[in-house]
Structure 1
Amino acid sequence: MARTALIVIDMLNSYEHPDAEALVPSVREALPGIGMLLKRAEASQAPVIYVNDNFGRWRSHHGEILQGALEGRYRDLVEPIKPDENALFVVKARHSIFYETPLAYLLGRLEVRHVVLCGQVTEQCVLYSALDAHIRHYEVTVAVDGVAHIDGELAQAALRMMERNMSARLTTSHAIAFGDGTT
């Protein structure tokens, strides 16, 4: 059976960007699902990997990114899902979690073949990450109640594309188990 990892995409965010006001309500809706996934992954000792944009700050590291998000206007969106001491962290600069990052190498070292995606933004980073995972032959699950969007219609289209074109399994956080590598 494939080992499963939880990938938390771009949730360490200060929300100081033009789309923030459209995104924030959806993030609030996704937080309980993401929280549930984090608890389940931790209980099963599944790898939890935060892959986060560096927001163009090329000298930053995960601690600075987290601190900036916690000091932002929407600390309440970051605090409940901030990484614990066991979480792994990969910095990205573009939409996909794989593009020019060491994530594929890390997943290989962890013997992961199945990724559960949650985070933001469904119609952008989550979509491109699911595609890149699919073309690398990973099994992909997307927690539909653990992803946030800017545009609801585009998000629904993106989810349909992930399911249809990338063989992603779409399900809720309640239906995802990490212990035996299956969902």
Structure 2
Amino acid sequence: MSKSALIVIDMLNTYEHEDAELLLPSVSRMLPTLVGLVGRAAAAGVPVIYANDNFGQWRSHHGEILETALAGRRPDLVDPLRPGEDAFFVVKARHSVFYETPLAYLLGTLDVDRLVLTGQVTEQCILYSALDAHIRHLEVTVPRDAVAHIHADLAQAALQMMERNMSAQVLDAADLDW
């Protein structure tokens, strides 16, 4: 049986970037589902790992990243996803949660072999993270209602690519079994 980890990607966000206006409606729609999923994972003892950009602040840590996001344009989208005390945190600099991060090592210490990828952006960070997980022989699950997109058509294509090319399980969060 697989041991899962829930990965929450880039949800501690200032929403002060070029595509924010296109992203915000999708984030607003999926946020309640993602908050529920984080709660379910924590209650089931599933590791919750936040992987978040550092906004180019190379001396920052997770507390500062959270504070920066809460001081941004949409703290109402950040506050419900404050990492719990048991959550793990990985700072990332680029699209994939694996690129130049200790995530692979952390997953190994936790004996995780299945990632549940959530957060933003489906057609960017979720897709690239799924590919990097796949090439590391990790199972990938993507709850389609717990990821946000900038462009709906590209997000749909990304989900199809993950399913077909990476053997990812794409489903609704309510159908997710740990």
Taking structure 1 as the reference length, the TM-score comes to: 0.96
What is the CA distance between 1:50 and its match in structure 2?
Answer: 0.1
Counterpart for residue 122 of structure 1: 122
Counterpart for residue 22 of structure 2: 22
Counterpart for residue 181 of structure 1: none
Counterpart for residue 49 of structure 1: 49
Q: Which runs of 5+ in 2 are unaligned?
A: none
What is the CA distance between 1:74 and its match in structure 2?
Answer: 0.2
On the 8 A contact 1:37/1:176 being kept in 2, the answer is: no
Counterpart for residue 139 of structure 2: 139
Q: Once superposed, which parts of structure 1, at least 4 consecutive aligned residues long, lie more than 2 Å away?
A: none
Q: Which runs of 5+ in 1 are unaligned?
A: 179-183
Taking structure 2 as the reference length, the TM-score comes to: 0.98
Q: What do you get for the CA RMSD once the two structures are aligned? A: 0.6
Number of aligned residue pairs: give it: 178
User: Does 2:163 match 1:163?
Assistant: yes
On the 8 A contact 1:40/1:177 being kept in 2, the answer is: no
Amino acid corresponding to residue 129 of structure 1 in structure 2: S
Partner Cα distance (2:36, 2:173) in 1: 6
CA shift digits 1:31-50 (9 cap, x unpaired): 01211210110111110000
Partner Cα distance (2:34, 2:73) in 1: 20
On the 8 A contact 1:53/1:92 being kept in 2, the answer is: yes
Identity of aligned residues (%): 67
Counterpart for residue 59 of structure 1: 59
Partner Cα distance (2:157, 2:177) in 1: 26
What is the CA distance between 1:174 and its match in structure 2?
Answer: 0.7
